Structure 1
């Protein structure tokens, strides 16, 4: 077992990949209105540039556990960084929404292998008592991406073009690649046996079909029957996938992990929370630019308050969880997070920038505590030999839900716009988007009551 300094070093290096991925998502959200103008697309439809990437992540993450075991986690992690960087360059050269979506899917393939395998490199060697600390070291540098992303994306878009927001991944990725090769010890490949190809195919088909149906329904992008057929086929594929994987010793997705209460709660209740919270990063920069008339740079410097609040919360998570425990923190803070999102519906162009900044920062504090608690609790009681399967399954859910959040946001915007009879988005449409997101976040709170009061105590240090 490595010492604490080794865990901190590995966590910081792995976090370079999380930093790159989070920076990419943050700068893209700020650049969406400029992309829409350049590609002659409606801003709401540009949500496909975000969801296509996230759907690709969810489809390919289940492969990551088997590939990491078969070829070695370090080797797979390094290759994934290169794929992510190369596809970022291609995204920056896209000439249409179709090309952009295609290159974002390729980028998602790299991300699918990069983030969960990087987390696996860390979690396989950390003791239970050090897990909360290790996860904090892993996520704190990664939060620099959302902190820097909105203002950086705005400045790059205004000074150069939206294409520059993809090219900044090149130096970051190459530096991360060198550090991984130099500092992280190799993990020997194992013999995991043949992959569950049928299970992987059914799981991938389920995710792709369901997300395609949700993303396109009611948008007149494809014929209506096609969206309905995709949803129906996706549900059927999901039923077949569950039936198939229940009878296998090494399934593509280890559903027996849901028998572990401290994994089930972050997976189920956490997915509902992340869906609602995932709508917020999409709504804020688009509202500030389209609804409030800000430039990309202005909206970036205001909206980065959310990530700044999240970053400020990280040092406080450990002492808070030690006092309250996971269950009380997740229930109480879940209500606070929902209220913070609902309060965003009150924003109007008349608000001073400082008031908007403070409200966004407060919301970032609450959501950061919830995310860190969920992500740590998920692995608190998972045996070491099942960590690969757990990181793959949890990573799939973790990436699917932000895509659902973007779909929730865009669907609410389009429904509000259709009901209003207006021809263009207005501030009122975004207000309804925040209300819908808050309701979804609040729906996750009662589910945490099923946790034991001392759930995850070995990790949090909480004692009744």
Structure 2
């Protein structure tokens, strides 16, 4: 539901702007408000799960997302739509982290990888069909239907949660670290907003620099505060576990290139190559199909190679696929683009599976919610960094060029893809800190030889 909503919405922005009598740029806040709500509320998802129980929190999250969807569909103006998207973001912030906590505490580590893949595969259907469904709805129906589609899905989801989801909770959960929540929430929200407006080039350098400095100051104050309280909102001490630390820090570095692709590919397809939005959306479908296929086989890959070898080699391959887009020109075959999209989706999917499963390799069940909050917050932030980095490189290489002329745009975009690809390849070195046995309790790597 969450993945379908986000991918469908992108195709409907022009129609929504026309219906609400505003410029398409004015709807930037519709996307920004959702992302800011995610950034603010993901950090407390772990505490919520421990305090109120995984089933209760997940049930409330789905209900809140559905309520936000209903209000979105009924919105009469941009302000009402933004408020509804914040409601959606509050619900969405709890879904993935709390869902992962329930999985970690239900299944043994040896079954975790297979179970996570089983759960994630249906979610990948959203990115696969979302752009096409969104285009069809906007063309034949009304954009409000996009949000109303979430309601039957939410009702079915609430029924499933009530019937099947366990309600794990901690009876001795400490009170919420309100000061830490305010410091970190304000800092992460300001930083996320600064990264988004940086990517859109809609704010002058001076106020943007001031906003970024303020966000970093708040985050630094949170770091100081977290060392002086017993139960901070984000338990940064968990990063002492090497596998979690590598997953968060090295995973964040290697996700920068991946995070820039949603920003760069529309520029390449629609401006550089002249494809229509729905044609560009279709070219993304092989990526999602490959992601589903990889989820089915990723367990066998990790069992055979282990997390260390997989992440070092796979990160380099992902970087190569990003760099390959620097070879895409006007005469390229659509089938070649679809093949490249498929290959990239295959290896990006393996990257995410490897990083996300490594989070829980050394974490005790009682700390699973805290680790999930850290990992989800870091993932959300690094994708924003990836978009900002791609925007910075694009602005640099496109500076002084006629941005309506594909003959000038394409060479500049090629340099961006090549730079992002090289940075991703270099980031594979970050995984050298892993040991060959790290994550073997999840992947089963080496167990057959020991037996």
Change (3 A) 1:188 1:260: closer
1:435 to 2:418 alignment: yes
Change (3 A) 1:116 1:292: same
Q: How does 1:54-69 map to 2 (within 5 A)?
A: 54-69=35-50
Aligned partners of 2:65 and 2:92 also within 8 Å: yes
Residue number among 226, 233, 252 corresponding to 2:207 in the alignment: 226
When the two structures are superposed, what TM-score results if normalisation uses the length of structure 2?
0.89
Change (3 A) 1:422 1:294: closer
The offset of 1:233, in angstroms, is: 1.1
> Matches of 1:258 and 1:66 in 2, distance apart?
17
Unaligned runs of 5+ in 2: none
Aligned partners of 1:65 and 1:117 also within 8 Å: yes
> Matches of 1:368 and 1:352 in 2, distance apart?
24
The offset of 1:381, in angstroms, is: 1.3
Residue number among 309, 312, 323 corresponding to 1:342 in the alignment: 323
Unaligned runs of 5+ in 1: 1-19
> 1:101-157, CA deviations, whole angstroms, 9 ceiling, x for partnerless residues?
443333211111122112112211211111111111121222112222232223223
Counterpart residue number, 2:302: 321
1:379 to 2:397 alignment: no
The total of aligned residue pairs comes to 443
Aligned partners of 1:49 and 1:104 also within 8 Å: yes
Counterpart residue number, 1:362: 343
SS at match of 1:253: coil
Farther-moved stretch of structure 1 (450-459 vs 331-340): 450-459
1:106 to 2:91 alignment: no
Counterpart residue number, 1:130: 111
SS at match of 1:185: coil
SS at match of 1:455: coil
SS at match of 1:419: coil
> Matches of 2:75 and 2:48 in 1, distance apart?
30
Aligned partners of 2:311 and 2:354 also within 8 Å: yes
When the two structures are superposed, what TM-score results if normalisation uses the length of structure 1?
0.87
Aligned partners of 2:286 and 2:341 also within 8 Å: yes
Counterpart residue number, 1:143: 124
> Matches of 1:250 and 1:166 in 2, distance apart?
38
Aligned partners of 1:154 and 1:298 also within 8 Å: no
Aligned partners of 1:56 and 1:108 also within 8 Å: yes
> Matches of 1:279 and 1:215 in 2, distance apart?
12
Aligned partners of 2:393 and 2:416 also within 8 Å: yes
Residue number among 376, 382, 396 corresponding to 1:401 in the alignment: 382
The offset of 1:49, in angstroms, is: 4.4
Aligned partners of 2:131 and 2:281 also within 8 Å: yes
Aligned partners of 1:151 and 1:299 also within 8 Å: no
Aligned partners of 1:417 and 1:424 also within 8 Å: no
Counterpart residue number, 2:371: 390
Counterpart residue number, 1:205: 186
Counterpart residue number, 1:445: 428
Change (3 A) 1:286 1:61: same
Counterpart residue number, 2:314: 333
Counterpart residue number, 1:12: none
Change (3 A) 1:292 1:104: farther
> Matches of 2:28 and 2:386 in 1, distance apart?
10
SS at match of 1:351: coil
The offset of 1:375, in angstroms, is: 0.6
> Matches of 1:170 and 1:54 in 2, distance apart?
21
The offset of 1:30, in angstroms, is: 3.9
> Matches of 2:139 and 2:382 in 1, distance apart?
30
Aligned partners of 1:218 and 1:224 also within 8 Å: no
The offset of 1:433, in angstroms, is: 4.4
Residue number among 23, 41, 50 corresponding to 1:40 in the alignment: 23
> Matches of 2:218 and 2:83 in 1, distance apart?
24
Farther-moved stretch of structure 1 (344-353 vs 157-166): 157-166
1:24 to 2:1 alignment: no
The offset of 1:318, in angstroms, is: 1.3
> 1:188-221, CA deviations, whole angstroms, 9 ceiling, x for partnerless residues?
5633121111111111111112222333348664
The offset of 1:415, in angstroms, is: 4.2
1:239 to 2:220 alignment: yes
Counterpart residue number, 1:191: 172
Aligned partners of 2:187 and 2:215 also within 8 Å: yes
Change (3 A) 1:288 1:166: farther
Aligned partners of 1:51 and 1:403 also within 8 Å: no
The offset of 1:23, in angstroms, is: 1.6
Counterpart residue number, 1:9: none
Q: What's the RMSD between the two structures over aligned residues?
A: 2.6
> 1:413-433, CA deviations, whole angstroms, 9 ceiling, x for partnerless residues?
444444314357844554444
> Matches of 1:109 and 1:367 in 2, distance apart?
27
Change (3 A) 1:442 1:59: farther
The offset of 1:69, in angstroms, is: 1.8
> Matches of 1:165 and 1:291 in 2, distance apart?
29
> Matches of 2:133 and 2:420 in 1, distance apart?
26
Q: How does 1:291-310 map to 2 (within 5 A)?
A: 291-310=272-291
1:262 to 2:238 alignment: no
